[in-house]
Structure 1
């Protein structure tokens, strides 16, 4: 059997990446979520968590020894150099975790779901890129509802993520996710049928 090719799936916060990924998973496509890999590399007992605690102090740990994500997020969004330090530590570890997981795929193509596909350089792991896009006002509205967060925090996250233009520049395919779930399912099915005709992700 030929090795599955990799589809990179990305989009800004609140664009609906997770819903799109789930549609592909329901169709039998192997998917690896970079966010899950990112969580796994900082679990208690893993070297990365120890280094983070040494660098930022014990405030970034919860009482049970897990990472206090809210506290860490606050620190790095206020400080560019701290964010870069954290990325330099975690990106190579996350990259290895993702590659190992993608290598286990048995579907004709596999999906790497990553909000920072472009920024982190993870797009280099993929042969094709699908960008889930949505109007910014809708992204903010969805994220506030989902995370019970403030519009200011969502705006701060949007600023850190690649600009829409930058993401779209890397896209082979664009899915504008501004309608209902039934429509989304039919769009993903259409893309899936197309992807099954590709060899190595290219037409």
Structure 2
């Protein structure tokens, strides 16, 4: 049987990737959510846990063996070298897990969801890339509501990510996520396009 096409799906904070992914799931498209899987592997993969403790100290996990996300975040988000070090430990484990998951899929195409496809220069690994976008003010309001934080906090997070204009030039398909009703129609049309034109 032909291997599924691998379609990347990405977008900045507050763009509404999760909503878009849920609609694709309703169309029976298998989805691999890289960030969620990375957290799961960091919590459950014994080899990964050993390597993280060796690089960042035993405090990376609490006494119950749970990942100490606050401790790790404080280290890596204030030091780009430490962040690169953590990525070099976690990313290969995620890639290996993804390849194992992909080998079990029987759909015509799958989605690989990650916020940082372009930031990590992974775009060449996909048959095509979907970018989810939304106006800046919409994104700010969404994240404020979701995370119960100030507009300034959200703006800082947005400004730390790659400029959306650059991502638009790099992406193959753009989904502007503003109204849910229109979104469902757009995604049905994109699903058809992927199945007929790309496959």
1:192 aligns with 2:191: yes
Pairwise mapping of residues 114-193 of structure 1 onto structure 2 (< 5 A)? 114-179=114-179, 181-193=180-192
The TM-score normalised by the length of structure 1 is 0.88
Q: Which moved more, 1:13-22 or 1:48-57?
A: 48-57
Alignment of 1:27-42 (within 5 A): 27-42=27-42
Length, aligned pairs only: 199
Larger mean Cα displacement after TM superposition, 110-119 or 152-161: 152-161
Please say if residues 30 and 106 of structure 1, whose CA atoms lie closer than 8 Å, have aligned partners that are also in contact.
no
SS in 1 for 2:158: helix
Q: Closer, same or farther in 2 for the Cα pair 1:171/1:95, shift >3 Å?
A: same
Deviations 1:18-63, CA, capped at 9 Å, x for gaps: 1111101100111111112211220145222222223223333234
Query: In structure 1, how many angstroms separate the alpha carbons of the residues matched to 2:150 and 2:53?
Result: 27
What is the alpha-carbon distance in structure 1 between the residues aligned to residue 109 and residue 17 of structure 2? 17
For 1:159 and 1:63, how far apart are their aligned partners in 2? 36
Tell me which residue corresponds to 1:71: 71
Q: Are the equivalent residues in 2 in contact too, given 1:77–1:156 (CA < 8 A)? A: no
Within 5 Å, give how 1:67-106 maps onto structure 2: 67-106=67-106
Q: Sort the Cα spacing of 1:71 and 1:21 in 2 relative to 1 into closer, same or farther, 3 A.
A: same
Alignment root-mean-square deviation, CA = 1.9
Task: Report the counterpart of residue 110 of structure 1 in structure 2.
Answer: 110
Residue aligned with 1:29, SS: coil
For 1:108 and 1:135, locate their aligned partners in 2 and report how far apart those are by CA, in whole Å: 32
CA distance in 2, matches of 1:164, 1:41: 29
Q: Deviations over 1:66-110 (max 9, x none)?
A: 112233222222221211111111111111112221222211111
CA shift in 2, pair 1:130/1:96, >3 Å: same
CA distance in 1, matches of 2:144, 2:71: 19
TM-score (norm: length of structure 2): 0.89
Give CA-to-partner distance per residue, 1:134-159, whole Å, 9 cap, x none. 12222222122212344454344334
* Structure 2 runs not aligned, ≥5 long: none
